[in-house]
Every structure is written in structure tokens, then in C-alpha cells.
Chains A and B, each alone.
Chain A
Amino acid sequence: AQKVTQAQTEISVVEKEDVTLDCVYETRDTTYYLFWYKQPPSGELVFLIRRNSFDEQNEISGRYSWNFQKSTSSFNFTITASQVVDSAVYFCALGGGGNKLTFGTGTQLKVEL
């Protein structure tokens, strides 16, 4: 069985602070994919990144960075110099064999002025 745990239900930061969203996963598949999505108040989930299990290189995209560590089954997401527009619910998801994604319960990020 697959499982994704996002232990942080809600995080509040002040603008310009750095914030890390945690994601821990469980799977027996040797080939799998990890995703992060952002859900702003408008409702639609916005795809941010996909990582496959054979690529542990960290990735940086502007103020966003991702740290994938197979040894700890974690795929954490850091926003540097957070902005109010980053306020949203962020979901981590896991896809193994088959065609089903397993989503975490999400982390609500609030960035205040």
C-alpha cells in the first residue's frame, strides 16, 4: 500500500521568511514518482514538480526548491523569501505502479504581511 504523510496541517509565516513543507512517503515500488501541487483559493491544483525515484538531485526553480532523499523517504519543498501569493494548500503526491496517485492531506500555508 502507498501512503503520503504531510504532518504539517497549517503553517503561518511572515512575508520574506523561508518555509519548508514536509512530505514523507511509503511505497514498495522500486520505480515511483513524486509530485507537488499547489491549490490556491480558486480551487484548481497547479502542478509544480515531478520527480522519479532514480533522480535524487535537488531541484531549484526560482524561489522554490525540492529536496528528495530516498534514505528517509522524504520529498520536502522549500519556499525562499515567501510572498503573500504563496498562500495556498500544498499537496504532495506519490505515483507507483498502476494509474493512481496517492495524495497527502495537504499543508495550508499562510503568508502574512
Chain B
Amino acid sequence: EIVMTQSPATLSVSPGERATLSCRASQSVSSSLAWYQQKPGQAPRLLIYGASTRATGIPARFSGSGSGTEFTLTISSLQSEDFAVYYCQQYNNWPPGTFGQGTKVEIK
């Protein structure tokens, strides 16, 4: 089973600043990597798939990069609505489609 490791666990950022979240796979997942955003009491929402393609309706301030084992989600200028927990998930080796443990982006 592929293990997905996200870092940091918590990221404190001021509004308007840039946030960089990392996700590492225990073995190559090619570009089969998605990012999801989850706010308290809500379902997860797809942000990025194929490592770098924004889902429908996702603002351009969200970008994804990487391939193989190292991936990054960047939020270029944090808005108040972006404070949430972010999960990566690989879907190259299925089952299971393993998730990372999440990175909480909080207000500094």
C-alpha cells in the first residue's frame, strides 16, 4: 500500500500571504494525485487532479505541481475562505486510494 505523507501538519499563514503544502508518496504515483479542501462540518471538495489541473470553479490562486513522489499545492494569496484542511490522495495504485493525513492551514 502506498503511504502518503503531508507536511507540515499545521501551517500558520497571514491573509494575503503565500502557502505551500507538500505531499510525498512512498513510491511513484506518476501524476495520479489529487488535492481536496475540507472546511469544518463540510464535505471535502476537489481542488486539483492530475497533480496540476484545477477542478471546475477553483480559483487560479490554487496551483498544483509535481510528479512521481513529490507534490506541492500552492495558494498564492490566502483569502479568508481558504483556511481549511487540505488532503492529498493518490489514485495510481488502486485499491486503496490512499489519502495523506492532512495539512491544516490556520490564520496567523
Query: A and B, one complex?
Result: no
A residues adjacent to B (C-beta < 8 A): none
B residues adjacent to A (C-beta < 8 A): none
